[in-house]
Structure 1
Amino acid sequence: MKTHQKGVVIWLLGHSGAGKSTLAQMVARRLEADGYRTLSLDGDVVRAGMNSDLGFSDADRLENIRRVAELCKILLVKDLIVICSFITPMQSHRDLLRKTLGDRYLEVYLECPIAICEQRDVKGLYRKARNHEIENFTGIDSGFEVPTQPDLVIRTALWQADECAEQVYRLAISTQS
């Protein structure tokens, strides 16, 4: 274990199916293998537990992000590398994260066309959204604002998962010097 690591939040954002959870797991495993202490927070898992009282209205989405930002602040006290994978569709949400977490917040936008995200959709969420079985689904009937100041943009439709994970890993390691 690294005894003198610096806490940082690496926030992976993008549409459902862009690769957020996959990359978060890959990067966390590699960092842990190198002796770093990490914790991954996945949007689906957090919404199923801690934030199960929230829906997908604009206000609930903002509250979801606000709560996770506060949790990240607590985790940063222990100098963990926190890898978050949340859609985070609005710039105001990302501005809140930057304000709350300061220079320990790194924003990674996973850019991927909706058509590719739909092809990757193992849960059938896009189909359900297009059939009006799910409301307020980002990219279908709820908007997504492209980030204005990400620290890193990864075009996940163009590169293999291990190549994408390598970019996030390098970003994480750059914070440790």
Structure 2
Amino acid sequence: MSIYNKINAGFSLGTASPVTAGIEDVIYIFNQDDFTLTYDTTNPLIVTGITAVGTAKIYKFEGTNNSFNTLSKLAKTSVGPRYTEEIDFNVAGFSVDIKTQLMAMGYGRTRAIVINNYNSSDSAIELFGAVNGLILTDAERSAADETVDGGYKLKLTNPDKLREPYPPRAVSIAPPSGTATYASTLAAIEALVAA
């Protein structure tokens, strides 16, 4: 019996650019229905384009001191592998505007882009929630918590029973003329960020 996918290459860790843990202190979050994604025609793990529907924008969340983290975890199911994706981040504040955004992330579906500290990989920039989106599942605030100065600890993850069919997608967007690079991908994302 043949399996659906087959391995086609090996890998090794190099000493020239060793792997570095963590993600940068920035997350780009956008409403799932506000943007269409374009995938590489030969590899569904690569997003080659993010296009706004109308005047939609991406929202940039910035932190400090490694206050953001991501997790991708394989879950075996009866129909094949599925991936749980999570993004943890902190918000140093609790204004009405922040609470409004938390409610929107809890009810609506979002997608998120993160930048790995290890940026020598073709997956330096990753998209979470590509198929099923992400929702806010945890929003915890303890007024006495000095680690976030009384702000919120948040978790975006897949909605119940809706894990992703692939691990987080690599984002690799080429400029109008030329090949995709780390810089061209960041520039394309930043061009969609709300002012």
Q: TM-score, normalised by structure 2?
A: 0.23
Structure with more strand by fraction: 2
Structure with more helix by fraction: 1
Q: Which has the higher Rg, Structure 1 or Structure 2? A: 2
Greater RCO, CA 8 A, separation 6+:
1
